[in-house]
Structure 1
Amino acid sequence: MRNVVITGGNKGIGLALTQKFVENGDHVIIVARDFSNQETFDYQNHPQVRCIAFDLSQTDRLSELVVQLDAVDVLINNAGLLQTLTYDAYPEVNRDYGLNLNLLTPVMLTTLLEDKLKASPHKGRVVNNASIAGQIGHPDIWYGIAKAGLINATKAFAKAFQGQIIVNAVAPSPTETELLNNIPEHRQQAFLRNTISGRFATAQEVADAMFWLATDCPDYINGICLDINNGSLPR
């Protein structure tokens, strides 16, 4: 049994992960700003799930969140936001909100939870939900910058922790979640033409990969970013 913290674990990829951990017998703490969404999996009334309402863009208050957490075996930095704004029309408030949520909060949470993760009897693990946006010149420049930074942070933390905590990331291409609605139709179609299967990833497919990194992947797989893009960015 693991104690798992999942940011944005109430919808999309995060909710698919919540359900997988619960089915595995683990206890999940979901951290999210809003729990008003209605989903097929009733996580709010599940005995293995605890919900903490918290605005993860408020980096100056993250220590208040961490004191509410006891033992932590797995940290899933999943929460994120894609804003379809061009580089020359990007209000500072949107830039700062996105950078906080997509980059600063995952880095700071990993730092603040280091001692708890090192104390885990399972060997603590961190899995970051990055994006293909961090590997290409993404139209949402600050989203791309944040995700590129998160990939770099994954490698940096893995080296800093020296195997005491296993840190990995995934870089999904567009996925069938709410965020897909933020991508203009012409960009969606252009992406699909570059995939092998001609479709987007499902939330479950990304969640399955993240779950493996958080549980059963060998310790030697550490500091990597797993591409999940169906051949749209072969490397």
Structure 2
Amino acid sequence: MELTDKVALVTGGSRGIGAATAKKLATHGARVAVTYQENRSSAEATVEAIRRSGGTATALQTSAENRASVDTMMDRVVSAFGRIDILVNNAGIFTAKPLSEVGFDLYTRQFNANVWGMIQITQAALPHFPASGGRIINIASARMYAPRDGTGLYAASKAAVSVLTHALAIELGPRSITVNAVAPAVTETDMTAKMPPEKKASFAKATPLGRIGLPEDIADVIAFLASDEARWVNGRTIRADGGLS
């Protein structure tokens, strides 16, 4: 895969799948901007790892739910790199609660972070895509196919991401921008660090490959979708779950 001189913006790039994706895209030659909301030290560690490997990267703070913050961040990306070729909408939050504990505040927080944030980032990025087109990759979740254990609200927000992915692929196709999503199953990140070991073990046992996912497993799929090799893949949500489903 050849991404030399492409400019990639990876939201939530300070940890987990986002950090692995930023590093993978840089390995293939992309210049990478990673965003973070609070974890500056981790974002800077991602950038430093890319730079040590000979790549180009920068870390920018933003709140995806705040349009003024998004616009400021986007201006800084364009000032540093001139344009955006690849957008990875990875930033999001995960909360599991049974129906009896779901209130409006939790609903708003979950959908603002996972859906509205993705919409705002995409809106702000689109004017900076070149006439030749580009790639948008959104992060959904395999949970939207199996919303159990109190994950219904989270799964619904990620199902919205998948539907919007399809809709945006239709809308942006005339601009030669492809829009796809990746739906990981349980992946070894700090989001799952608090999961009881026995539950992780049960997911691993239920997966034909005998383990849960690693951030690098998902990053490789994202890198493919960002490349020219995926030029004919559009509007799809790809399950990256090791066969769990």
- Report the alpha carbon displacement of residue 182 of structure 1 after superposing the two structures with TM: 4.2
Residue identity in the other structure for 1:224 = R
- Report the alpha carbon displacement of residue 219 of structure 1 after superposing the two structures with TM: 1.9
Distance 1:40 1:51 in 2: 9
Q: Deviations over 1:189-210 (max 9, x none)?
A: 4433321022101111110010
Match of 1:131 among 121, 141, 162: 141
| Normalised TM-score (structure 1) | 0.88
Q: Deviations over 1:160-181 (max 9, x none)?
A: 1125201111111000111112
Q: Extract unaligned runs of 5+ from structure 2.
A: none
Indicate whether 1:75 and 2:87 are aligned: yes
Q: Extract unaligned runs of 5+ from structure 1.
A: none
Number of residue-to-residue matches in the alignment: 231
Identify the residue that residue 29 of structure 1 maps to in structure 2: 33
Identify the residue that residue 48 of structure 2 maps to in structure 1: 43
Greater displacement, 205-214 / 182-191: 182-191
Question: What is the 5 A alignment of 1:57-206?
Answer: 57-59=65-67, 61-70=69-78, 71-117=83-129, 119=130, 121=132, 123-138=133-148, 139-163=150-174, 164-185=176-197, 187-206=199-218
Q: Is the 8 A contact 1:10 1:30 kept in 2?
A: yes
Identify the residue that residue 215 of structure 1 maps to in structure 2: 227
Q: Deviations over 1:34-59 (max 9, x none)?
A: 21238975537837111111122435
- Report the alpha carbon displacement of residue 107 of structure 1 after superposing the two structures with TM: 1.9
Q: Percent identity?
A: 24
What is the RMSD of the two structures over their aligned residues, measured on CA atoms?
2.3
Distance 2:229 2:156 in 1: 28
Q: Is the 8 A contact 2:12 2:91 kept in 1?
A: yes
Q: Is the 8 A contact 1:16 1:204 kept in 2?
A: yes
Distance 1:66 1:42 in 2: 17
Greater displacement, 126-135 / 50-59: 50-59
Distance 1:202 1:91 in 2: 32
| Normalised TM-score (structure 2) | 0.85
Indicate whether 1:17 and 2:21 are aligned: yes
Change (3 A) 1:39 1:182: farther
Q: Deviations over 1:107-159 (max 9, x none)?
A: 22222222222x254x3100111110122224222211110000011100001
- 4+ long deviations beyond 6 Å: none
